[in-house]
């Protein structure tokens, strides 16, 4: 029997769960304007997965990369949820990300 597939499925559950955690934290401390950075990190992980010889490790990198891309699309909605009072809102101004003038011109993606 192939247990590796099931292990990858369980890993995806864990990494998506971790995604909920870091999206909430990142929006709280940094703000949603940082969304391109997890997006690029996720794309980078998927690109890296193409050059890993072992299929299992490549699969784990792919799952992790996809979950970071999804997390990037959640940041804007998380900011709205915090403004609606559904989540704790950071009262302090948040640091602006590098290249913020370019980021502001792009509509933040969401699912």
Partner 1 sequence: MLQTSGLWLALATFLSIWWGHVGVRWLEAHSADIRPPMVILIIAGLILNVAALFAPSIAIGGVCSVVGISLWWDAFELVRQDRRVRHGHAPANPNNPRHARYLAEGKATLHDPLDREPSDPSEAEQPTVRERNPELA
Query: Which residues are at the interface with partner 1 (CB under 8 A)?
Result: 1-10, 12-13, 16, 30-33, 46, 48-56, 58-63, 65-67, 69-70, 76-77, 79-86, 89, 91-96, 111
CB of 109 closer than 8 Å to CB of 73:
yes
CB of residue 92 vs partner 1: minimum separation in angstroms? 7
For the CA atoms of the chain, what is the radius of gyration? 16
Nearer to partner 1, 4 or 25 (CB): 4
**Which of 18-33 are b and which e, b meaning 16 or more Cβ less than 10 Å from the residue's Cβ?**
ebeeebbebbbebbbb
Nearer to partner 1, 51 or 105 (CB): 51
CB of residue 20 vs partner 1: minimum separation in angstroms? 11
């Amino acid at each position: 029997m192939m247990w590796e597939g099931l292990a990858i499925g369980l890993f995806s559950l864990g990494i998506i769960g971790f995604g909920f955690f870091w999206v909430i934290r990142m929006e709280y401390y940094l703000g949603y304007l940082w969304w391109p950075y997890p997006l690029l990190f996720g794309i980078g992980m998927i690109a890296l997965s193409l050059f890993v010889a072992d299929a299992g490790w490549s699969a784990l990198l792919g799952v992790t990369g996809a979950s970071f891309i999804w997390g990037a699309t959640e940041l804007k909605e998380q900011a709205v949820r915090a403004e609606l009072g559904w989540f704790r809102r950071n009262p302090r101004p948040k640091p602006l990300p590098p290249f913020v003038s370019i980021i502001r011109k792009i509509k933040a993606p969401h699912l």
